[in-house]
């Protein structure tokens, strides 16, 4: 019986300490065992900083900063439907809403031999910005996040998922991978697919095809 009371008392203290003071206001600075985010090192406006060699706390924006409200060119030229969904392969990577397709929807993307390299290059930029952290710059699934232990990041070079399936994973996410459909527009999603095709192809390219580039130092 004694133990029952001791446990009862401990439980009561625990419940009151966790739930009892919620919503109360305190005048004094709270004691924080785990720091909240409002408690952090920062530089106030006009404050000096010895972190930078010029001693200034206020910095210029870093190179290639995108000003708020600027529409990147790719979004500006994409149709106004660029985030819309319908049942076409172009919009959701599937035929009849269930059969995964493969290949690029060349007609809708208005791809030609001339604009294809720029399209693939656009894919590289979007891939490196959004995907390489997990999937790695070369797509081999060994990005920096994976090296910190996020399990199950897939090697996109050996992936046999059809293009439409990859497109679907970009839009809707899967498992530990979140959905990118809200932040990467239609054209850019397909640009990533085109770049993934190029990455896969580059792994299988015959040596003499890449020898010149390799010797010139452009292939790293
Ligand atoms: C937070 C880490 C993370 C990011 C960022 C990320 N992925 Fe993934 N991705 C994963 C994980 C984990 C899986 C495995 C999901 C599962 O099935 O559990 C995956 C799976 C995939 C697959 C499925 C491959 C297959 O063979 O089944 C594709 C395709 C893919 N990712 C493409 C991308 C693209 C393109 C981007 C950028 C737009 C991206 N991922 C960004 C973690 C990530």
Supply the DSSP string of 172-219, one letter for each residue: H-BTTBPP-TTTS-HHHHHHHHHHHHHHHHHHH--HHHHHHHHHTT--
CB 115 within 8 A of CB 123: no
Write a three-state SS string for 53-70: CCCECCCCCCCCCCCCCC
Q: DSSP letters of 33-96? A: SS--TTSS----TT-B-SSSTT-BSS-PPPTTPPPTTPPPHHHHHS-TTTT---SSHHHHSEET
Domain extent at residue 100:
96-215
Q: Report pLDDT for 214.
A: 77
Q: Report pLDDT for 220.
A: 47
Q: Report pLDDT for 80.
A: 45
Counting the structural domains of the chain, the total is 1
CA 177 to ligand 1 centroid distance, Å: 5
With respect to residue 176, please indicate whether it lies within any of the assigned structural domains.
yes
With respect to residue 34, please indicate whether it lies within any of the assigned structural domains.
no
Q: Report pLDDT for 79.
A: 44
* 220 residues of the chain, pLDDT tens digit each: 788 999 999 998 888 887 777 777 778 877 878 887 877 888 888 999 998 899 999 988 888 777 777 666 555 554 444 566 677 889 888 887 778 889 999 999 999 999 999 999 999 999 999 999 999 999 999 999 988 988 899 999 999 999 999 999 999 999 989 999 888 988 999 999 999 999 998 888 788 887 887 788 765 4
The CB of 153 under 6 Å from ligand 1? The reply is yes
Ligand 1 atom having least distance to the Cα of 127: 37
3-state secondary structure of 159: coil
Please give the model's pTM, rounded to 2 decimal places: 0.69
With respect to residue 141, please indicate whether it lies within any of the assigned structural domains.
yes
CB 43 within 8 A of CB 57: yes
With respect to residue 40, please indicate whether it lies within any of the assigned structural domains.
no
Q: Whose CA is nearest to atom 36 of ligand 1?
A: 131
- Two tokens, residue 22: 């919620």
With respect to residue 109, please indicate whether it lies within any of the assigned structural domains.
yes
Q: Whose CA is nearest to atom 18 of ligand 1?
A: 175
CA 169 to ligand 1 centroid distance, Å: 7
With respect to residue 165, please indicate whether it lies within any of the assigned structural domains.
yes
Number of neighbours of residue 126 by Cβ within 10 angstroms: 23
Q: Report pLDDT for 167.
A: 95
With respect to residue 80, please indicate whether it lies within any of the assigned structural domains.
no
The CB of 134 under 6 Å from ligand 1? The reply is yes
CATH at 178:
1.10.760.10
3-state secondary structure of 130: helix
With respect to residue 168, please indicate whether it lies within any of the assigned structural domains.
yes
């Amino acid at each position: 019986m004694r133990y029952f009371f001791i446990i009862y008392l401990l439980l009561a203290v625990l419940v009151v300490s966790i739930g009892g003071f919620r919503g109360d206001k305190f005048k004094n600075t709270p004691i924080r065992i785990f720091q909240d985010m409002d408690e952090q090192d920062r530089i106030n406006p006009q404050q000096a900083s010895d972190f930078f060699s010029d001693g200034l706390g206020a910095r210029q924006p870093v190179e290639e900063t995108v000003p708020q409200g600027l529409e990147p060119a790719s979004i500006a030229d994409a149709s106004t439907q660029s985030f819309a969904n319908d049942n076409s392969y172009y919009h959701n990577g599937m035929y009849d809403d269930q059969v995964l397709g493969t290949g690029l929807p060349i007609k809708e993307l208005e791809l030609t031999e001339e604009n294809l390299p720029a399209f693939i290059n656009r894919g590289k930029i979007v891939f490196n910005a959004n995907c390489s952290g997990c999937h790695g710059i070369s797509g081999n699934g060994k990005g920096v996040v994976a090296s910190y232990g996020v399990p199950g990041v897939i090697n996109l070079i050996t992936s046999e998922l059809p293009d439409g399936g990859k497109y679907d994973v970009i839009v809707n996410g899967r498992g530990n991978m979140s959905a990118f459909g809200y932040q990467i527009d239609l054209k850019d999603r397909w640009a990533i697919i085109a770049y993934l095709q190029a990455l896969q192809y580059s792994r299988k390219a015959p040596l003499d095809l890449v020898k010149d580039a390799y010797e010139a130092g452009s292939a790293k």
